[in-house]
Amino acid sequence: TLLLPHGYEGQGPEHSSARLERFLQACADLNVVVANVTTPANFSHLLRRQLTWNFRKPLIVMSPKSLLRHTECVSPLEDFEEGKSFQEVLVDPITSKKPKPKIKRILLCSGKIYYDLLLKKHQDKRDDVAIIRLEQLHPLPETQLDALLAQYGHPELLWIQEEPANMGACPYIV
């Protein structure tokens, strides 16, 4: 398991900055798992899944260190309970309870930018936008993502990331 700083978190001569796009370019078939988790419970379940698999596969976690201090990055205690498992795709809990036809735009993202999008959504009082997080980038959880997107009909779908378009997961996802 590699725990790497993502994006611009590792700036400076004494730090490294992992390049997500380079790890995604190295992915072939099912040779590695690349994740960018956004909740403590999901991170715990990801590590637990890595240990309980009956085979070994490299796990690359691209979560930034700043999420350790982020006030919104919390999980309720019941999310850690036995019987829960790693979720490869997470939907915005607020819009998941709303009528799906009301959603006009879906923002797909991964990692820390979710909290920036959530803050902006609350500031603008937007209830017509759903934010979906891809917690696992490779192998891409297409089945879960397709099932989730089918619930919303045909709203505008956007990929959002911190990095420029030629970096990060954009070339891999879009």
Q: What is the pLDDT of residues 108-160, one digit of tens each?
A: 999 889 999 999 999 999 989 999 999 999 999 999 999 999 888 889 999 99
**Beta-carbon count within 10 A of 134 CB:** 24
Q: What is the pLDDT of residues 25-41, one digit of tens each?
A: 999 988 999 999 999 99
Check pLDDT > 80 for residue 10: no
Spatial contact of 132 and 141, defined as CB atoms under 8 Å apart: no
Tokens 């956004």 locate to 38
Q: Which two tokens stand for residue 149?
A: 């997107």
Residue 23 pLDDT > 80: yes
DSSP string covering 66-106: GGGT-TT----GGGGSTT----SEEE-TTGGGS-GGG--EE
Enter the DSSP assignment of 122. Answer: H
Give the model's pLDDT for residue 99.
66
